[in-house]
Structure 1
Amino acid sequence: MSAVAETQNEQLITRTDKDGVATVMLNRPKKFNALSMAVLDALLEEFTRIGDDKSVRCVVMAGEGKAFCAGHDLKEMRADTSRLAMQALFGKCSQVMQKITSIPQPVIARIHGIATAAGCQLVATCDLAVAVEEARFATSGINVGLFCSTPMVALTRNMPAKQAFEMLVTGDFIDAQTALQYGLINKVVTADKLDETVMEMALKIASKPAVSIAFGKQLFYKQIEAAKQVAYDMAGDTMTCNMLTEDAQAGVDAFIAKQPMPEWKGK
Protein backbone atom coordinates (compact mmCIF):
# COMPACT_ATOMS: atom_id res chain seq x y z
CA MET A 1 0.00 0.00 0.00
CA SER A 2 1.58 3.29 -1.06
CA ALA A 3 1.07 6.82 0.18
CA VAL A 4 -0.27 9.14 -2.49
CA ALA A 5 -0.30 12.36 -0.49
CA GLU A 6 1.07 13.27 2.91
CA THR A 7 0.42 16.18 5.23
CA GLN A 8 2.27 16.18 8.54
CA ASN A 9 3.02 12.47 8.08
CA GLU A 10 -0.65 11.68 7.42
CA GLN A 11 -1.41 9.60 4.34
CA LEU A 12 -4.51 11.34 3.01
CA ILE A 13 -5.31 8.61 0.51
CA THR A 14 -3.83 5.22 -0.23
CA ARG A 15 -3.94 2.96 -3.24
CA THR A 16 -3.72 -0.82 -3.43
CA ASP A 17 -3.69 -2.78 -6.70
CA LYS A 18 -4.61 -6.44 -7.05
CA ASP A 19 -5.80 -8.53 -10.00
CA GLY A 20 -6.42 -5.50 -12.18
CA VAL A 21 -8.45 -3.69 -9.50
CA ALA A 22 -7.14 -0.48 -7.90
CA THR A 23 -8.61 0.41 -4.50
CA VAL A 24 -8.37 4.10 -3.65
CA MET A 25 -8.94 4.68 0.06
CA LEU A 26 -9.76 7.99 1.72
CA ASN A 27 -7.59 7.98 4.85
CA ARG A 28 -8.76 10.70 7.24
CA PRO A 29 -10.79 8.52 9.62
CA LYS A 30 -10.63 11.02 12.50
CA LYS A 31 -12.21 13.61 10.17
CA PHE A 32 -14.72 11.15 8.72
CA ASN A 33 -12.73 11.33 5.48
CA ALA A 34 -13.62 14.97 4.87
CA LEU A 35 -12.56 16.29 1.49
CA SER A 36 -9.96 18.94 2.24
CA MET A 37 -8.20 20.70 -0.63
CA ALA A 38 -5.18 18.45 -0.07
CA VAL A 39 -7.37 15.35 -0.32
CA LEU A 40 -8.97 16.64 -3.52
CA ASP A 41 -5.53 17.36 -4.99
CA ALA A 42 -4.43 13.82 -4.14
CA LEU A 43 -7.59 12.28 -5.61
CA LEU A 44 -7.25 14.23 -8.85
CA GLU A 45 -3.63 13.21 -9.17
CA GLU A 46 -4.36 9.55 -8.43
CA PHE A 47 -7.37 9.21 -10.73
CA THR A 48 -5.38 10.87 -13.50
CA ARG A 49 -2.62 8.32 -12.94
CA ILE A 50 -5.12 5.44 -12.90
CA GLY A 51 -6.73 6.63 -16.12
CA ASP A 52 -3.38 6.22 -17.88
CA ASP A 53 -2.60 2.85 -16.27
CA LYS A 54 -3.56 0.04 -18.62
CA SER A 55 -2.96 -2.56 -15.90
CA VAL A 56 -5.99 -1.22 -14.00
CA ARG A 57 -9.31 -2.55 -15.27
CA CYS A 58 -11.62 -1.38 -12.47
CA VAL A 59 -11.42 0.97 -9.47
CA VAL A 60 -12.91 0.76 -5.97
CA MET A 61 -13.45 4.03 -4.07
CA ALA A 62 -13.56 3.47 -0.31
CA GLY A 63 -13.14 5.21 3.04
CA GLU A 64 -11.11 4.27 6.12
CA GLY A 65 -12.71 4.25 9.58
CA LYS A 66 -16.35 4.68 10.54
CA ALA A 67 -17.56 6.67 7.52
CA PHE A 68 -17.30 6.66 3.75
CA CYS A 69 -17.06 10.45 3.46
CA ALA A 70 -18.61 13.35 5.36
CA GLY A 71 -18.16 15.89 2.57
CA HIS A 72 -16.04 19.03 2.57
CA ASP A 73 -13.83 20.00 5.51
CA LEU A 74 -15.92 22.77 7.08
CA LYS A 75 -13.15 23.94 9.40
CA GLU A 76 -10.85 24.43 6.43
CA MET A 77 -13.60 26.29 4.59
CA ARG A 78 -14.07 28.69 7.52
CA ALA A 79 -10.34 29.35 7.70
CA ASP A 80 -10.50 31.23 4.39
CA THR A 81 -13.92 32.37 3.22
CA SER A 82 -12.68 34.56 0.37
CA ARG A 83 -14.36 34.21 -3.01
CA LEU A 84 -11.11 32.98 -4.55
CA ALA A 85 -10.70 30.26 -1.91
CA MET A 86 -14.29 29.06 -2.29
CA GLN A 87 -14.08 29.03 -6.08
CA ALA A 88 -10.82 27.10 -5.93
CA LEU A 89 -12.25 24.51 -3.54
CA PHE A 90 -15.49 23.85 -5.38
CA GLY A 91 -13.72 24.02 -8.73
CA LYS A 92 -11.21 21.40 -7.63
CA CYS A 93 -14.00 19.18 -6.30
CA SER A 94 -15.78 19.43 -9.65
CA GLN A 95 -12.55 18.48 -11.41
CA VAL A 96 -12.25 15.35 -9.27
CA MET A 97 -15.84 14.31 -9.94
CA GLN A 98 -15.47 14.83 -13.69
CA LYS A 99 -12.17 12.95 -13.71
CA ILE A 100 -13.90 9.93 -12.14
CA THR A 101 -16.44 9.82 -14.96
CA SER A 102 -13.88 10.52 -17.69
CA ILE A 103 -11.32 7.80 -16.92
CA PRO A 104 -11.86 4.62 -18.96
CA GLN A 105 -12.17 2.28 -15.95
CA PRO A 106 -15.49 1.88 -14.10
CA VAL A 107 -15.36 3.14 -10.51
CA ILE A 108 -17.30 1.38 -7.74
CA ALA A 109 -18.10 3.21 -4.50
CA ARG A 110 -17.77 0.95 -1.43
CA ILE A 111 -19.97 2.60 1.19
CA HIS A 112 -20.20 2.12 4.93
CA GLY A 113 -21.28 4.58 7.60
CA ILE A 114 -22.34 7.98 6.30
CA ALA A 115 -21.97 9.65 2.90
CA THR A 116 -23.01 13.28 3.30
CA ALA A 117 -22.88 16.44 1.15
CA ALA A 118 -19.84 16.11 -1.15
CA GLY A 119 -19.50 12.53 0.16
CA CYS A 120 -22.95 11.78 -1.21
CA GLN A 121 -21.86 13.54 -4.41
CA LEU A 122 -18.91 11.15 -4.58
CA VAL A 123 -21.26 8.17 -4.34
CA ALA A 124 -23.50 9.60 -7.08
CA THR A 125 -20.47 10.32 -9.27
CA CYS A 126 -19.01 6.82 -9.11
CA ASP A 127 -20.26 4.57 -11.91
CA LEU A 128 -21.51 1.92 -9.49
CA ALA A 129 -22.12 1.76 -5.74
CA VAL A 130 -22.46 -0.95 -3.10
CA ALA A 131 -23.47 -0.09 0.47
CA VAL A 132 -23.94 -1.87 3.76
CA GLU A 133 -27.40 -2.00 5.31
CA GLU A 134 -26.43 0.54 7.96
CA ALA A 135 -25.16 3.16 5.49
CA ARG A 136 -26.92 6.54 5.39
CA PHE A 137 -26.90 9.26 2.78
CA ALA A 138 -27.70 12.98 2.90
CA THR A 139 -27.10 16.29 1.15
CA SER A 140 -27.07 18.00 4.51
CA GLY A 141 -25.45 21.32 3.69
CA ILE A 142 -28.79 23.09 3.93
CA ASN A 143 -28.82 22.33 7.67
CA VAL A 144 -25.92 24.74 8.14
CA GLY A 145 -27.15 27.26 5.60
CA LEU A 146 -25.31 25.96 2.52
CA PHE A 147 -27.39 24.46 -0.28
CA CYS A 148 -25.56 21.45 -1.77
CA SER A 149 -25.35 22.93 -5.26
CA THR A 150 -22.40 20.95 -6.60
CA PRO A 151 -23.61 17.64 -5.08
CA MET A 152 -26.94 18.38 -6.76
CA VAL A 153 -25.34 17.99 -10.20
CA ALA A 154 -24.41 14.36 -9.54
CA LEU A 155 -27.48 13.58 -7.45
CA THR A 156 -29.97 14.69 -10.11
CA ARG A 157 -28.21 12.52 -12.69
CA ASN A 158 -28.83 9.44 -10.54
CA MET A 159 -32.21 9.93 -8.88
CA PRO A 160 -35.75 11.03 -9.75
CA ALA A 161 -36.11 14.81 -9.51
CA LYS A 162 -38.57 15.05 -6.63
CA GLN A 163 -36.67 12.62 -4.41
CA ALA A 164 -33.40 14.46 -5.11
CA PHE A 165 -34.99 17.83 -4.41
CA GLU A 166 -36.43 16.57 -1.13
CA MET A 167 -32.97 15.48 0.00
CA LEU A 168 -31.49 18.83 -1.04
CA VAL A 169 -34.02 21.08 0.70
CA THR A 170 -34.58 19.03 3.87
CA GLY A 171 -31.06 17.76 4.53
CA ASP A 172 -32.63 14.56 5.83
CA PHE A 173 -30.82 11.23 5.79
CA ILE A 174 -32.05 8.31 3.74
CA ASP A 175 -31.12 4.73 4.54
CA ALA A 176 -29.47 2.25 2.20
CA GLN A 177 -32.69 0.57 1.09
CA THR A 178 -34.18 3.95 0.18
CA ALA A 179 -31.00 4.87 -1.68
CA LEU A 180 -31.33 1.61 -3.60
CA GLN A 181 -34.97 2.35 -4.39
CA TYR A 182 -34.07 5.86 -5.60
CA GLY A 183 -31.28 4.59 -7.85
CA LEU A 184 -28.39 6.18 -5.94
CA ILE A 185 -26.74 2.79 -5.32
CA ASN A 186 -26.73 -0.64 -6.97
CA LYS A 187 -26.69 -3.10 -4.08
CA VAL A 188 -27.28 -3.30 -0.34
CA VAL A 189 -25.43 -6.01 1.58
CA THR A 190 -24.65 -7.00 5.15
CA ALA A 191 -21.39 -5.62 6.52
CA ASP A 192 -19.68 -9.01 6.41
CA LYS A 193 -20.45 -9.30 2.68
CA LEU A 194 -19.39 -5.80 1.61
CA ASP A 195 -15.82 -6.50 0.51
CA GLU A 196 -16.77 -9.80 -1.09
CA THR A 197 -19.61 -8.23 -3.09
CA VAL A 198 -17.56 -5.23 -4.21
CA MET A 199 -14.62 -7.37 -5.29
CA GLU A 200 -16.89 -9.83 -7.10
CA MET A 201 -18.34 -6.95 -9.12
CA ALA A 202 -14.90 -5.43 -9.74
CA LEU A 203 -13.35 -8.70 -10.90
CA LYS A 204 -16.28 -9.40 -13.20
CA ILE A 205 -15.74 -6.01 -14.84
CA ALA A 206 -11.98 -6.55 -14.94
CA SER A 207 -12.52 -9.81 -16.83
CA LYS A 208 -14.20 -7.99 -19.73
CA PRO A 209 -12.29 -6.45 -22.66
CA ALA A 210 -10.95 -3.14 -21.40
CA VAL A 211 -11.16 -1.44 -24.78
CA SER A 212 -14.89 -2.20 -25.04
CA ILE A 213 -15.54 -1.06 -21.46
CA ALA A 214 -13.70 2.20 -22.23
CA PHE A 215 -15.75 2.79 -25.37
CA GLY A 216 -18.95 2.06 -23.46
CA LYS A 217 -18.23 4.26 -20.45
CA GLN A 218 -17.28 7.24 -22.58
CA LEU A 219 -20.42 6.88 -24.67
CA PHE A 220 -22.65 6.32 -21.64
CA TYR A 221 -22.01 9.78 -20.22
CA LYS A 222 -22.02 11.55 -23.58
CA GLN A 223 -25.28 10.11 -24.89
CA ILE A 224 -27.27 10.37 -21.68
CA GLU A 225 -27.56 14.16 -22.04
CA ALA A 226 -27.87 14.21 -25.83
CA ALA A 227 -30.99 14.29 -27.98
CA LYS A 228 -32.16 10.82 -29.01
CA GLN A 229 -31.03 11.09 -32.64
CA VAL A 230 -27.65 12.45 -31.64
CA ALA A 231 -27.33 9.68 -29.05
CA TYR A 232 -28.06 7.01 -31.65
CA ASP A 233 -25.54 8.58 -34.03
CA MET A 234 -22.87 8.55 -31.34
CA ALA A 235 -23.78 4.98 -30.38
CA GLY A 236 -23.55 3.80 -33.98
CA ASP A 237 -20.12 5.37 -34.39
CA THR A 238 -18.96 3.83 -31.11
CA MET A 239 -20.19 0.35 -31.99
CA THR A 240 -18.48 0.63 -35.36
CA CYS A 241 -15.16 1.55 -33.73
CA ASN A 242 -15.66 -1.18 -31.11
CA MET A 243 -16.38 -3.84 -33.74
CA LEU A 244 -13.18 -2.94 -35.57
CA THR A 245 -11.05 -3.81 -32.51
CA GLU A 246 -9.14 -7.08 -32.34
CA ASP A 247 -10.85 -8.03 -29.07
CA ALA A 248 -14.39 -7.67 -30.43
CA GLN A 249 -13.61 -9.60 -33.59
CA ALA A 250 -11.91 -12.38 -31.65
CA GLY A 251 -14.81 -12.52 -29.19
CA VAL A 252 -17.43 -12.75 -31.91
CA ASP A 253 -15.43 -15.43 -33.73
CA ALA A 254 -15.16 -17.45 -30.52
CA PHE A 255 -18.91 -17.14 -29.89
CA ILE A 256 -19.74 -18.29 -33.44
CA ALA A 257 -17.33 -21.21 -33.13
CA LYS A 258 -18.76 -22.05 -29.67
CA GLN A 259 -15.31 -21.70 -28.16
CA PRO A 260 -14.24 -20.09 -24.87
CA MET A 261 -13.69 -16.35 -25.01
CA PRO A 262 -10.11 -15.44 -25.92
CA GLU A 263 -7.63 -13.63 -23.72
CA TRP A 264 -8.38 -9.95 -24.20
CA LYS A 265 -5.50 -7.93 -25.63
CA GLY A 266 -6.88 -4.45 -25.09
CA LYS A 267 -6.73 -3.73 -28.84
Structure 2
Amino acid sequence: MPQDPVRTRQVGAVLEVTLDRPKANAIDLETSRIMGEVFRDFRDDPELRVAILTGAGEKFFCPGWDLKAAADGDAVDGDYGLGGFGGLQEMREMNKPVIAAVNGIACGGGLELALSADMILSAEHASFALPEIRSGTVADAASVKLPKRIPYHIAMELLLTGRWFDANEAQRWGLVNEILASDKLMERAWELAQVLASGPPLVYAAIKEIVREAEDSNFQDMMNRITKRQLRTVDVLYGSEDQLEGARAFAEKRDPVWKGR
Protein backbone atom coordinates (compact mmCIF):
# COMPACT_ATOMS: atom_id res chain seq x y z
CA MET A 1 0.00 0.00 0.00
CA PRO A 2 1.43 3.41 -0.91
CA GLN A 3 2.44 5.56 2.02
CA ASP A 4 0.72 8.84 2.80
CA PRO A 5 2.60 11.56 0.87
CA VAL A 6 1.95 14.11 3.62
CA ARG A 7 2.64 13.36 7.28
CA THR A 8 1.52 15.54 10.16
CA ARG A 9 2.52 15.70 13.81
CA GLN A 10 0.90 17.94 16.40
CA VAL A 11 2.52 18.93 19.68
CA GLY A 12 0.45 21.43 21.62
CA ALA A 13 -0.41 24.35 19.35
CA VAL A 14 2.23 23.49 16.72
CA LEU A 15 1.57 21.39 13.62
CA GLU A 16 4.49 19.83 11.73
CA VAL A 17 3.74 19.05 8.06
CA THR A 18 6.19 16.78 6.27
CA LEU A 19 6.12 16.22 2.52
CA ASP A 20 7.15 12.59 2.07
CA ARG A 21 7.08 11.34 -1.52
CA PRO A 22 10.19 9.31 -2.35
CA LYS A 23 12.47 9.80 -4.08
CA ALA A 24 12.39 13.59 -4.30
CA ASN A 25 9.24 14.90 -2.55
CA ALA A 26 7.84 16.17 -5.86
CA ILE A 27 4.20 17.24 -5.79
CA ASP A 28 1.53 15.75 -8.05
CA LEU A 29 -2.13 16.77 -8.18
CA GLU A 30 -3.24 14.31 -5.50
CA THR A 31 -0.50 15.40 -3.11
CA SER A 32 -1.30 19.07 -3.70
CA ARG A 33 -4.95 18.44 -2.85
CA ILE A 34 -3.97 16.62 0.35
CA MET A 35 -1.72 19.51 1.34
CA GLY A 36 -4.56 21.94 0.74
CA GLU A 37 -6.79 19.99 3.11
CA VAL A 38 -4.02 19.88 5.73
CA PHE A 39 -3.41 23.63 5.60
CA ARG A 40 -7.14 24.39 5.54
CA ASP A 41 -7.62 22.32 8.70
CA PHE A 42 -4.64 24.07 10.29
CA ARG A 43 -6.06 27.47 9.39
CA ASP A 44 -9.50 26.66 10.77
CA ASP A 45 -8.47 24.85 13.98
CA PRO A 46 -8.51 27.34 16.89
CA GLU A 47 -6.22 25.07 18.90
CA LEU A 48 -3.41 25.29 16.33
CA ARG A 49 -1.29 28.44 16.15
CA VAL A 50 1.87 27.70 14.14
CA ALA A 51 2.82 25.29 11.33
CA ILE A 52 6.21 23.96 10.29
CA LEU A 53 6.58 22.73 6.70
CA THR A 54 9.50 20.48 5.79
CA GLY A 55 10.47 17.57 3.56
CA ALA A 56 11.36 14.01 4.45
CA GLY A 57 15.01 12.99 4.28
CA GLU A 58 18.03 15.24 3.91
CA LYS A 59 18.40 15.60 0.14
CA PHE A 60 15.12 17.18 -0.99
CA PHE A 61 12.79 19.75 0.52
CA CYS A 62 10.75 19.79 -2.68
CA PRO A 63 11.68 20.05 -6.37
CA GLY A 64 8.22 21.31 -7.26
CA TRP A 65 5.94 19.77 -9.88
CA ASP A 66 6.17 16.01 -10.41
CA LEU A 67 7.18 15.75 -14.07
CA LYS A 68 6.82 11.96 -14.03
CA ALA A 69 3.20 12.32 -12.94
CA ALA A 70 2.75 14.91 -15.69
CA ALA A 71 4.08 12.44 -18.22
CA ASP A 72 1.51 9.93 -16.94
CA GLY A 73 -1.38 12.36 -17.42
CA ASP A 74 -1.37 14.92 -14.60
CA ALA A 75 -2.14 18.25 -16.27
CA VAL A 76 -0.01 21.20 -15.20
CA ASP A 77 -3.20 23.27 -15.15
CA GLY A 78 -5.19 20.57 -13.35
CA ASP A 79 -7.01 20.71 -10.02
CA TYR A 80 -4.41 21.53 -7.37
CA GLY A 81 -7.11 21.75 -4.71
CA LEU A 82 -7.53 24.29 -1.93
CA GLY A 83 -4.71 26.81 -1.69
CA GLY A 84 -3.38 26.13 -5.17
CA PHE A 85 -0.10 24.32 -5.75
CA GLY A 86 1.12 22.78 -2.49
CA GLY A 87 -1.96 23.96 -0.64
CA LEU A 88 -0.33 27.03 0.85
CA GLN A 89 0.57 29.75 -1.61
CA GLU A 90 -3.02 30.66 -2.49
CA MET A 91 -4.75 29.63 0.73
CA ARG A 92 -7.20 32.40 1.58
CA GLU A 93 -7.06 34.05 5.01
CA MET A 94 -4.03 32.08 6.15
CA ASN A 95 -3.56 34.28 9.19
CA LYS A 96 -1.32 32.00 11.24
CA PRO A 97 2.50 31.87 11.11
CA VAL A 98 4.08 29.21 8.90
CA ILE A 99 7.77 28.27 9.10
CA ALA A 100 9.49 26.51 6.20
CA ALA A 101 12.36 24.27 7.30
CA VAL A 102 14.24 23.70 4.05
CA ASN A 103 16.12 20.47 4.52
CA GLY A 104 17.59 20.10 1.02
CA ILE A 105 16.96 21.01 -2.60
CA ALA A 106 14.18 23.58 -3.04
CA CYS A 107 13.67 24.39 -6.68
CA GLY A 108 10.83 25.42 -8.97
CA GLY A 109 7.52 25.04 -7.22
CA GLY A 110 9.36 23.84 -4.12
CA LEU A 111 11.06 27.21 -3.77
CA GLU A 112 7.73 28.91 -4.47
CA LEU A 113 6.22 26.84 -1.67
CA ALA A 114 8.96 27.96 0.73
CA LEU A 115 8.34 31.57 -0.33
CA SER A 116 4.74 31.13 0.82
CA ALA A 117 5.91 30.68 4.42
CA ASP A 118 6.46 33.59 6.79
CA MET A 119 9.94 32.53 7.85
CA ILE A 120 12.45 30.24 6.15
CA LEU A 121 15.11 28.23 7.98
CA SER A 122 17.65 26.48 5.78
CA ALA A 123 19.96 23.54 6.28
CA GLU A 124 23.51 24.53 5.40
CA HIS A 125 23.60 22.06 2.48
CA ALA A 126 20.30 23.26 0.94
CA SER A 127 20.30 24.64 -2.59
CA PHE A 128 17.78 26.67 -4.55
CA ALA A 129 16.80 27.42 -8.15
CA LEU A 130 13.97 28.44 -10.44
CA PRO A 131 14.82 26.25 -13.44
CA GLU A 132 11.47 26.58 -15.23
CA ILE A 133 13.08 28.78 -17.88
CA ARG A 134 15.10 25.78 -19.07
CA SER A 135 11.98 23.72 -19.73
CA GLY A 136 10.19 26.49 -21.58
CA THR A 137 7.73 27.46 -18.88
CA VAL A 138 7.35 30.21 -16.29
CA ALA A 139 7.85 30.21 -12.53
CA ASP A 140 4.58 32.05 -12.12
CA ALA A 141 4.32 32.46 -8.35
CA ALA A 142 8.01 33.31 -8.07
CA SER A 143 7.67 35.89 -10.83
CA VAL A 144 5.08 37.63 -8.66
CA LYS A 145 6.76 37.22 -5.27
CA LEU A 146 10.51 37.26 -5.77
CA PRO A 147 10.98 40.84 -7.06
CA LYS A 148 9.10 42.01 -3.95
CA ARG A 149 11.34 40.03 -1.58
CA ILE A 150 14.86 40.67 -2.88
CA PRO A 151 16.56 43.28 -5.10
CA TYR A 152 14.83 43.46 -8.48
CA HIS A 153 17.91 42.79 -10.60
CA ILE A 154 18.86 39.73 -8.54
CA ALA A 155 15.33 38.37 -8.75
CA MET A 156 15.31 38.85 -12.51
CA GLU A 157 18.69 37.15 -12.88
CA LEU A 158 17.45 34.11 -10.97
CA LEU A 159 14.20 33.99 -12.95
CA LEU A 160 15.82 34.54 -16.35
CA THR A 161 18.81 32.21 -15.95
CA GLY A 162 17.42 29.47 -13.69
CA ARG A 163 20.84 29.17 -12.05
CA TRP A 164 21.40 27.41 -8.74
CA PHE A 165 22.38 29.23 -5.57
CA ASP A 166 23.32 28.00 -2.11
CA ALA A 167 22.04 28.76 1.37
CA ASN A 168 24.64 31.43 2.00
CA GLU A 169 23.60 33.38 -1.08
CA ALA A 170 19.95 32.92 -0.20
CA GLN A 171 20.61 34.43 3.21
CA ARG A 172 22.65 37.26 1.69
CA TRP A 173 19.63 38.33 -0.37
CA GLY A 174 17.29 37.92 2.58
CA LEU A 175 15.48 34.83 1.34
CA VAL A 176 16.24 32.77 4.45
CA ASN A 177 16.25 33.82 8.09
CA GLU A 178 18.81 31.36 9.43
CA ILE A 179 21.19 28.65 8.23
CA LEU A 180 21.53 25.59 10.45
CA ALA A 181 23.49 22.36 10.49
CA SER A 182 21.20 19.66 9.11
CA ASP A 183 20.90 17.93 12.48
CA LYS A 184 19.86 21.20 14.12
CA LEU A 185 17.32 22.37 11.54
CA MET A 186 14.15 20.86 12.99
CA GLU A 187 15.24 21.54 16.55
CA ARG A 188 15.51 25.24 15.71
CA ALA A 189 12.24 25.17 13.75
CA TRP A 190 10.42 23.76 16.76
CA GLU A 191 12.12 26.20 19.10
CA LEU A 192 10.97 29.12 16.95
CA ALA A 193 7.49 27.62 16.57
CA GLN A 194 7.11 27.33 20.33
CA VAL A 195 8.08 30.96 20.75
CA LEU A 196 5.43 31.97 18.21
CA ALA A 197 2.85 29.62 19.71
CA SER A 198 3.20 31.41 23.04
CA GLY A 199 2.44 34.76 21.40
CA PRO A 200 -0.85 36.59 20.74
CA PRO A 201 -2.71 34.80 17.91
CA LEU A 202 -5.07 37.70 17.19
CA VAL A 203 -2.14 40.05 16.73
CA TYR A 204 -0.46 37.56 14.38
CA ALA A 205 -3.66 37.35 12.36
CA ALA A 206 -3.87 41.13 12.11
CA ILE A 207 -0.21 41.41 11.08
CA LYS A 208 -0.62 38.85 8.33
CA GLU A 209 -3.77 40.43 6.93
CA ILE A 210 -2.26 43.93 7.03
CA VAL A 211 0.90 42.77 5.25
CA ARG A 212 -1.13 40.90 2.64
CA GLU A 213 -3.52 43.77 1.96
CA ALA A 214 -0.75 46.37 1.95
CA GLU A 215 0.86 44.81 -1.12
CA ASP A 216 -1.76 46.48 -3.30
CA SER A 217 -2.33 49.66 -1.29
CA ASN A 218 -0.53 52.92 -0.69
CA PHE A 219 0.54 53.80 2.84
CA GLN A 220 -2.14 56.32 3.73
CA ASP A 221 -5.01 54.24 2.34
CA MET A 222 -3.81 51.27 4.33
CA MET A 223 -3.45 53.27 7.54
CA ASN A 224 -6.98 54.60 7.08
CA ARG A 225 -8.35 51.07 6.69
CA ILE A 226 -6.54 49.98 9.86
CA THR A 227 -7.61 52.91 12.03
CA LYS A 228 -11.21 52.60 10.83
CA ARG A 229 -11.16 48.87 11.62
CA GLN A 230 -12.01 47.94 8.04
CA LEU A 231 -9.89 44.78 8.16
CA ARG A 232 -11.66 41.84 9.79
CA THR A 233 -8.70 40.69 11.88
CA VAL A 234 -7.97 44.22 13.10
CA ASP A 235 -11.61 44.71 14.09
CA VAL A 236 -11.57 41.43 16.02
CA LEU A 237 -8.29 42.35 17.72
CA TYR A 238 -9.41 45.82 18.79
CA GLY A 239 -12.52 44.40 20.44
CA SER A 240 -10.85 41.37 22.01
CA GLU A 241 -10.09 40.13 25.52
CA ASP A 242 -6.50 39.61 24.40
CA GLN A 243 -5.94 43.31 23.76
CA LEU A 244 -7.18 44.14 27.26
CA GLU A 245 -5.04 41.33 28.64
CA GLY A 246 -1.94 42.78 26.98
CA ALA A 247 -2.50 46.18 28.61
CA ARG A 248 -3.28 44.66 32.01
CA ALA A 249 -0.24 42.39 31.92
CA PHE A 250 1.98 45.36 31.11
CA ALA A 251 0.50 47.42 33.94
CA GLU A 252 0.78 44.50 36.38
CA LYS A 253 4.34 43.64 35.26
CA ARG A 254 3.53 40.02 34.40
CA ASP A 255 3.48 37.80 31.36
CA PRO A 256 0.23 37.95 29.39
CA VAL A 257 -2.00 34.91 29.01
CA TRP A 258 -3.30 34.86 25.44
CA LYS A 259 -6.66 33.19 24.80
CA GLY A 260 -7.18 34.06 21.14
CA ARG A 261 -10.45 35.84 21.83
TM over 0.5: yes
Name the one with the larger helix percent.
Answer: 1
Q: Residues of 2 paired with 1:86 and 1:20: CA distance?
A: 35
Alpha carbons 1:15, 1:24 under 8 Å: kept: yes
Aligned with 1:42 (options 19, 31, 34): 34
Q: Does 1:56 align with 2:45?
A: no
Quick one: which amino acid aligns to residue 73 of structure 1? D
Moved over 4 A (4+): 238-241
**Superposed, which structure 2 residues align to 1:33-182 within 5 Å?**
33-65=25-57, 66-80=59-73, 85-88=75-78, 92-93=84-85, 96-99=88-91, 102-182=93-173
Distance change >3 Å, CA 171–CA 89, structure 1 → 2: farther
Alpha carbons 1:90, 1:150 under 8 Å: kept: no
Q: Residues of 1 paired with 2:257 and 2:168: CA distance?
A: 38
Distance change >3 Å, CA 128–CA 106, structure 1 → 2: same
Q: Does 1:235 align with 2:226?
A: yes
Q: Residues of 2 paired with 1:154 and 1:43: CA distance?
A: 21
SS in 2 for 1:110: strand
Task: Tell me by how many angstroms 1:64 deviates.
Answer: 0.4
Distance change >3 Å, CA 41–CA 252, structure 1 → 2: same
Aligned with 2:239 (options 224, 244, 248): 244
Alpha carbons 1:138, 1:172 under 8 Å: kept: yes
Alpha carbons 1:40, 1:96 under 8 Å: kept: no
1:229-264 CA-partner distances (Å, limit 9, x unpaired): 122123322556523211111111110222x12321
TM-score (norm 2): 0.90
Percent of aligned pairs sharing the same letter: 30
Deviates further, 131-140 or 218-227: 218-227
Structure 2: which 5+ runs fail to align? none
Quick one: which amino acid aligns to residue 251 of structure 2? I
Alpha carbons 1:132, 1:188 under 8 Å: kept: yes
TM-score (norm 1): 0.88
- Please report the RMSD computed on the Cα atoms of aligned residues, expressed in angstroms: 2.0
Q: Residues of 2 paired with 1:205 and 1:139: CA distance?
A: 30
1:126-181 CA-partner distances (Å, limit 9, x unpaired): 11110011111100111222232233223233222211111111111111111112
Distance change >3 Å, CA 170–CA 191, structure 1 → 2: same
Q: Residues of 1 paired with 2:2 and 2:198: CA distance?
A: 37
